[in-house]
Amino acid sequence: MRLGLAGTGRIGTAHAETLKGFEEVESVVVADVDPARALPAAAKLGVESVSLDELFAAGLDGLVVTAATDAHPGLIIAAVDAGIPVFCEKPVAADIPGTLAVIDRRVRGKSTPGASSRERAPIPNRKDRVRLLAPLLIARSRP
C-alpha cells in the first residue's frame, strides 16, 4: 500500500513514522505547504517528499491529512476528487462553512473522509453538531 501524508509538522511526522511501521505499507509520501519543512522530515523518516500538487497524482492508496486546520477542507476535497480514501486528523474544518463544504463533497463523492476526535462539542449545541458531523467520524473508502 502507498500512503500519502499532507502536513509534516509534529503530528504529521509522528503519523508518518507510525505508518512506515505497518507491514502492509510499502511506501509513504509526504508533502507540506512549506517544502522546507517537508524535506527534512522526509529525510529523517526515509520517505519520499513531493509538492502538495504532486501528492494527489502520486498513485496513492490513501491519504492522511495532518496539515494546519484551515487547510483540511481543501485537502479532503482534493483527495475525494482524486478518488483517494482520506483520513483527517481532527478537526475536519476550522468553521461550519468548511465542514459543510466537506459534507457536500462527501455526499456527491465516492469517498468518505474519516476523522479522529477526542474533543466534544459544547453542551448547548451538542445534538446538532453530532448530527452534522456523524457522517465524518467513520473512516471508510469506496472503490
What confidence tens digit (pLDDT) does each residue in 7-35 have? Answer: 999 999 999 999 999 999 999 999 999 99
> pTM, whole model, 2 decimals?
0.76
pLDDT number for residue 29: 97
Taking Cα atoms as reference points, which of 109, 94, 104, 93 lies closest to residue 142?
109
- Torsion over CA of 129, 73, 30 and 68, rounded to 10 degrees? -70
- Judge whether residue 38 has pLDDT over 60: yes
* Cα separation, 95 vs 76, whole angstroms: 15
In tens, the pLDDT along 109-123 reads: 544 445 554 444 443
Decide: 94 and 70 in contact? Cβ < 8 Å.
Answer: yes
